[in-house]
């Protein structure tokens, strides 16, 4: 019996591009012609991106917000497997075979996550063991290592929540909300311990202790833990203090920022806005 290899489409989010040059760096270790590529370029009418390749489709969108970009790409994709991407990553060798082999090995998986390295060739985070994801393990997964079966996600209406991520009320945590929505719908989610991408170095401690990070994480905590989010926030502030992400003098102000995040989420939820589209 002949094995049918799934088709793979890479969904790239970018902004204000007028040239495809950034794409060649992303694929310097692979052939971009091995994939269908869909680029959502959030821009203005005077800065549009054009492709003359049948393998590279461009959508110039005049609205902003990373979640809106991701959702437009998911709806517009056409291949069996979608791989989420940003414009500052570099794919590692053998990308196509790693992706297709994983889905052939796990034919019942709706989502498969992989791993990333930073510019110093270190693992980007402390990834979970290979196997089935738990709620906890999903916290280690960033957008650019997420792949999924498009038909299953569309059938189950799994999209990004437009209130999380760059350009939204809560500037972060969009990946976890997206993944938890799929998890809560009972979709099978697998982690494969293979590196597929390099991502620029970031100071995770700075992100953990940032106002935007605490504001967004507190909102997510209330979404999934309800009133226990207040206890979560207290423990989180103690955690980032004990790990030197913030100073003692910052603890009270960071706690208040978390309270504001919870209050904002509750207000949006009460008004019905937070669950209006692309979330459930």
Cα–Cα distance between 23 and 37 in angstroms, integer? 10
Query: Which pLDDT does position 205 carry in this prediction?
Result: 46
Give the CA count within 13 Å in the CB-facing half-sphere of 14: 25
Query: Which pLDDT does position 233 carry in this prediction?
Result: 95
Query: Which pLDDT does position 172 carry in this prediction?
Result: 79
105 touches 5 (CB < 8 A): no
114 touches 145 (CB < 8 A): yes
For the chain, the C-alpha Rg in angstroms (whole number) is 19
Helix (H) or strand (E) holding 90: strand 90-91
Query: Which pLDDT does position 275 carry in this prediction?
Result: 55
DSSP state letter for 8 = E
pLDDT tens, per residue, the chain with 280 residues: 555 778 999 999 999 999 999 999 999 999 999 999 999 999 999 999 999 999 999 999 999 889 999 999 999 999 999 999 999 999 999 999 999 999 999 999 999 999 999 999 999 999 999 999 999 999 999 999 999 999 999 999 999 998 888 877 788 788 999 999 999 999 999 999 999 999 988 744 446 788 988 999 999 999 888 999 999 999 999 999 998 889 999 999 999 999 999 999 998 887 766 654 344 4
If one counts every other C-beta atom within 10 angstroms of the C-beta of residue 192, the result is 22
Per-domain residue ranges of the chain = 8-198, 204-271
Query: Which pLDDT does position 277 carry in this prediction?
Result: 39
| Residues 220, 222, 228, 230, CA torsion sign | positive
Cα–Cα distance between 191 and 23 in angstroms, integer? 26
237 touches 251 (CB < 8 A): yes
If one counts every other C-beta atom within 10 angstroms of the C-beta of residue 45, the result is 7
The residue among 148, 160, 150, 254 whose CA lies nearest residue 210 is 254
Angle of the 211-225 helix axis to the 174-184 helix axis, nearest 10:
10
Classified by CATH at the fold level, domain 8-198 comes out as Spore Coat Polysaccharide Biosynthesis Protein SpsA; Chain A (3.90.550)
């Amino acid at each position: 019996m002949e094995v049918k290899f799934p088709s793979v489409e890479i969904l790239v989010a970018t902004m204000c591009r007028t040239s495809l040059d950034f794409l060649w760096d992303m694929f310097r270790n692979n052939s971009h012609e091995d994939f269908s590529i869909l680029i959502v370029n959030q821009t203005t009418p005077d800065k549009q991106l054009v492709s003359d390749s049948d393998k590279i489709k461009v959508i110039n969108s005049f609205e902003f917000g990373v979640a809106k970009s991701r959702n437009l790409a998911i709806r517009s994709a056409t291949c069996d497997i979608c791989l989420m991407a940003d414009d500052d990553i570099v794919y590692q060798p053998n990308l196509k075979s790693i992706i297709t082999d994983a889905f052939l090995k796990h034919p019942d998986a709706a989502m498969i996550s992989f791993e990333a390295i930073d510019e110093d060739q270190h693992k980007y985070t402390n990834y979970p063991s290979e196997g089935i994801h738990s709620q906890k393990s999903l916290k280690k997964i960033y957008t650019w290592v997420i792949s999924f079966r498009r038909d299953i996600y569309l059938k189950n209406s799994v999209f990004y929540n437009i209130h999380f991520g760059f350009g939204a009320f809560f500037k972060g945590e969009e990946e976890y909300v997206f993944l938890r929505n799929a998890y809560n719908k009972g979709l099978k989610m697998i982690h494969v311990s293979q590196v597929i991408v390099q991502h620029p170095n970031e100071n995770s401690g700075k992100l953990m202790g940032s106002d935007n990070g605490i504001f967004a994480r507190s909102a997510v905590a209330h979404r999934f833990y309800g009133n226990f989010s207040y206890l979560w926030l207290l423990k989180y502030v103690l955690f980032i203090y004990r790990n030197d992400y913030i100073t003692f003098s910052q603890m009270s102000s960071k706690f208040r920022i978390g309270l504001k995040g919870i209050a904002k989420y509750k207000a949006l939820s009460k008004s019905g806005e937070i669950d209006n589209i692309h979330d459930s």
